[in-house]
Amino acid sequence: MERFIDTFFKPSVIASTWPKILDGMLVTVELALAVVISGLAVGLLLALIRTAQIRLVNAVIIVLVDVLRAVPPLVMVLIVYFGLPNVGLTLPSFAVLWLVLAAVLAAFGEEIFWAGILSVRRGQWDAARSTGLTFVDTLAFVVLPQTIRMVLPPLVNRTIAISKNTALGTVIGVPELLNQATTAVSFISNATPLSLAAIGYLIIFLPVVLLGSWLERRFAFRKA
């Protein structure tokens, strides 16, 4: 037990590295929030655009979404970070990771939102329109409330999965949680900073998982 503690929870290492770990947690939270807010907003917007049934626009959205879902996020991060400077566009590492992860989340979010919109029976669209509601009003007040409830479970799970990819920032120098931990390990040759990072990820994402489970139970209902 003493050897285990000395390897993974060494008190002297904890005392010297916890400020950097906290700094990394803050960056991770900021990045995750930026990814979630922008990614879900763009994903919902794309799904709403598809309801207009403009063939060319829908085709472009489908192609972009399929590409973003198929290519691993790490590959896209490396392409954007190392490729864009060759065409004269240099972005900070934080911005690169945010844009890539937000784009990936938007792609998955669009498909989830679109599936939810399609799952609302056509009769509800017709009934709403027959009362005098416009297409936009029907979408906003009849279809979307049902869609959000139906897509909440897969949307929460996908959001959590993609948000955890903030750890990819370590490969391009984003000072997030894993980067701070691995940097500390390289200097002191002890796994304690990685243990602190694991605890940090639990502190950040476990409440989100529990909140997602509560939301799923709270808004669960049968499709009308």
107 and 76 Cβ atoms separated by less than 8 Å: no
Residues constituting the chain: 224
Q: Report how far residue 190's alpha carbon sits from residue 8's, in angstroms, rounded to the nearest whole number.
A: 7
Q: Give the CA distances from residue 31 to residues 99, 101, 219, in Å, rounded to whole numbers and listed in that order.
A: 10, 9, 27
168 and 98 Cβ atoms separated by less than 8 Å: no
Q: What type of residue is 170?
A: T
Q: Give the pLDDT of the chain (224 residues) as one tens digit per residue.
A: 788 888 889 999 999 999 999 999 999 999 999 999 999 999 999 999 999 999 999 999 999 999 999 999 999 999 999 998 988 888 999 999 999 999 999 999 999 999 999 988 888 888 888 888 888 899 988 899 889 888 888 888 899 889 999 999 999 999 999 999 999 998 888 999 999 999 999 999 999 888 878 877 776 654 44
Tokens matching residue 161: 């999965």
In Å, how far from its chain's centre is CA 134? 33
Domains in the chain, CATH or no CATH each: 18-218 (1.10.3720.10)
Q: Identify the H or E element spanning 57.
A: helix 55-70
- pLDDT for the residue 189: 86
